[in-house]
Amino acid sequence: MSWTLLAPAFSIVVTLVVLAWAMHRIEAELQELRLSLRRSRVATVATDELQRGARHVAFEIERIDEKNRQRRERRRARDRR
């Protein structure tokens, strides 16, 4: 076997190892990005639900305030008589 062929073969093996390591790192980064995207979606859904809940609470508060206003008006009208 010729020593002149050993150096290029070794460099090819090193290159393949580096490529394999790089592919592994890329795969890990993609996994982290997927997880981040999933968390972002969950946060978006939670935010939408909180906004929907806040609108519902605001509507209920307005409804209760309106009922209380009507009761006060009825009491005032009754007290005037």
| DSSP one-letter code for 2 | -
Chain mean pLDDT for the chain = 92
Q: What is the pTM of this model?
A: 0.55
- Cα distances (angstroms) measured from residue 8 to each of 2, 3, 15, 17: 11, 10, 10, 14
Query: pLDDT (tens digit, 9 = 90+) per residue, 25-60?
Result: 999 999 999 999 999 999 999 999 999 999 999 999
